[in-house]
Amino acid sequence: MALDYLDFDYSEDEEGTGTWDAMASVGAARVPALAAEVERLLRWASRDFKGRQGAVDEGGDWDYDLQAQDDAGQPLTARFDEASGRLALEASATGRTTVTLSLSGSSWFGEALRSAFELND
């Protein structure tokens, strides 16, 4: 599953925990497609690593941070519901919607993520 909106930068800490950071900024017409892409990725992680979300240094295999804002830097709602697999993403009323997504995970999670979404480091 290739990604159209999220372009990840990869880094790794000294313990081998990987972090993938992406930012996408779209106009109102593209917000549904961006939301669907983020939702697909988080649904995959929640399904394939069910029950293993949490900080890697505390025993989890993966975790994420999701934020959204408008052109003025005002926060917008960006919330993923693991139970339903649905993402609520508020679109900016006046301009572009910018979404940032950071994923962190074990080497095992990283291998699966790279394979599932055709990511290159």
Q: Which long-range contacts (CB under 8 A, 24 or more apart) does 88-94 make?
A: 89/31, 89/34, 89/35, 89/38, 91/28, 91/31, 92/28, 94/70
Structure tokens at 81: 């519901």
> What share of the chain in percent tops pLDDT 90?
86
- Asked, for residue 10, whether it belongs to a domain, the answer is no
Within a domain: 39: yes
Percent of the chain residues topping a pLDDT of 70: 99
Is residue 108 one of the residues assigned to a domain? yes
* Range 16-41 average pLDDT: 96
pLDDT at 19: 96
Give the pLDDT band of residue 118 (cuts 50, 70, 90): very high
Is the residue at 61 inside a domain? yes
Structural domain includes residue 5: no
User: What pLDDT, on a 0 to 100 scale, did the predictor assign at position 121?
Assistant: 65
Q: 């939301």: which residue's tokens? A: 35
Q: What is the pLDDT of residues 56-89, one digit of tens each?
A: 888 899 999 999 999 999 999 999 999 999 999 9
Contact 41, 87 (CB under 8 A): no
Q: Total domain count for the chain?
A: 1
